Amino acid sequence: MYEMVMVNPEPRSLLLRLATERGVSLSALSALIGRNSTYLQQFVRKGSPRKLEETDRRTLARFFGVEEAALGAPEGNHSIPDRKNAATDWVDVPRLALGASAGPGLLPLGEQPVGAFRFAARWLRGQGLDPAMLSAIAVEGDSMDPTLRDGDEILVDRTPRALRDGVHVVRLDDTLLVKRIDTGRPGVLALVSDNPAYRVIEVSAGEVHVIGRVVWKSGRL
């Protein structure tokens, strides 16, 4: 004998719609709640887990500013974010009105915020990130495929640190680029594209200004 359990699909479709409207991927949201990258995709697409755990549901509800009941909380639970604690629980990282080219190069037009991404302050602290040193910008072009795709939003950490290999946003000849930096040759920085169709750009350390390191991305599925 077994009991058939009817699963209300509404929390799943709502979560997918909210993620699409915010421009954040399910994998990024999974990281936000401390889960593996496919956790919420499995929840939305395959119904596993059957329902979100209370702490995960609360974090997502606060992130999107919706009632927990909308994401599957028990009937009668209509809690929403406590606005008194919003300033300490969550951090709004400014989204700048410019893009970092992952193609031939983009001339930035300005650095005025056009919105924000909201992150859990605890998650940022756990990543060793200072909210005051973060900004979000869009990727434009395909030279960093498949790591970064055209239209992805990236979180840039501008904290001054010793330069090491990794994906960074740099300014070269007044052009903003997102590239993988290779520091293997003394005095030379190699700006590498993950898409092999693009050539490596080699510059001296003095020719390029490193804006910051890319520490997170979101994008459409």
Q: How many domains does the chain have?
A: 2
End-to-end CA distance of the chain: 39
Please report which residue ranges of 23-150 form alpha helices under DSSP H: 26-32, 39-46, 54-64, 86-89, 121-126
Same domain, 40 and 125: no
Confidence label for 71 from pLDDT (cuts 50, 70 and 90): confident
| Per-residue pLDDT tens digits for 8-50 | 448 888 888 888 777 677 887 887 777 887 888 888 888 888 8
In the 8-state DSSP scheme, what is residue 87? H
Are 61 and 68 within 8 A, CB to CB? yes
Q: What is the span of the domain harbouring residue 149?
A: 87-218
Confidence label for 85 from pLDDT (cuts 50, 70 and 90): very low
Mean pLDDT of 54-68: 81
Mean pLDDT of 194-218: 91
Same domain, 162 and 202: yes
Same domain, 43 and 122: no
Same domain, 161 and 92: yes
Same domain, 117 and 29: no
Same domain, 127 and 189: yes
Q: How many CB atoms lie within 10 A of CB 175?
A: 14
Q: What is the CATH number of the domain that holds 38?
A: 1.10.260.40
Its pTM stands at 0.58
Same domain, 94 and 54: no
Q: Give the pairing of strands 153-157 and 208-218.
A: antiparallel
Q: What is the CATH number of the domain that holds 186?
A: 2.10.109.10
**176 found inside a domain:** yes
Same domain, 14 and 106: no
Q: What dihedral angle (degrees, nearest 10) is formed by the CA atoms of 15, 20, 25, 27?
A: 20
Closest CA to 42 of 62, 31, 26, 20: 26
Same domain, 28 and 113: no
